Amino acid sequence: MAVISELIKTEADGGLSFGNYELNEKAKKDDHECAGNIYKVKTFKEITKLERDGMFVYESVPGTCVHGFKATNEGVYFTVCGNEDAQITVGVREDTEYEIMIDGKSTGKVKSNLGGKLSFSVELAGNGDVPVAIRL
């Protein structure tokens, strides 16, 4: 999937698409409204970060492009792409166990920290679009 030239957009199904790992310099977009929340994205080749109402939602190092990002009561779902393998951190419920599925394969169960963050790696180099599901 292509990078998001406008940095962030709401898809027809209500999911968010954001990020542009092709940028050499930092870019950001504030005040993107979706489902009553205000989102802010910062992105370039070294990092992509998303906040909702001033709270942490997503971060990748190096930068990535995310399509169809949805957070529900059951988990977080999105498709990610990038030029390099990435370390991804998402905001979830604190001190809760989740199963992480990357490209349809379980990487096992992982417990979020007390700050409600969960980190994992995704092999992106040469793999195109990689679906990710983080489920209770």
In a domain? residue 49: yes
Are the beta carbons of 47 and 59 closer than 8 angstroms?
yes
Domain limits at 92?
Answer: 8-135
In a domain? residue 3: no
pTM as predicted:
0.94
Q: What is the mean pLDDT of each run of 10 residues along the chain (136 residues)?
A: 86 94 95 94 97 96 96 94 95 95 94 93 88 96
In a domain? residue 90: yes
Please give the pLDDT value at position 120: 96
Please give the pLDDT value at position 41: 97
Please give the pLDDT value at position 1: 64
In a domain? residue 1: no
Strand-pair partners of 56: 51
Residue 11 and residue 39: Cα distance in Å, rounded?
A: 14
Torsion of CA 92, 65, 53, 95, to 10 degrees: 10
Please give the pLDDT value at position 3: 82
Number of domains into which the chain is organized: 1
* CATH at 28: 2.60.220
Are the beta carbons of 118 and 134 closer than 8 angstroms?
yes
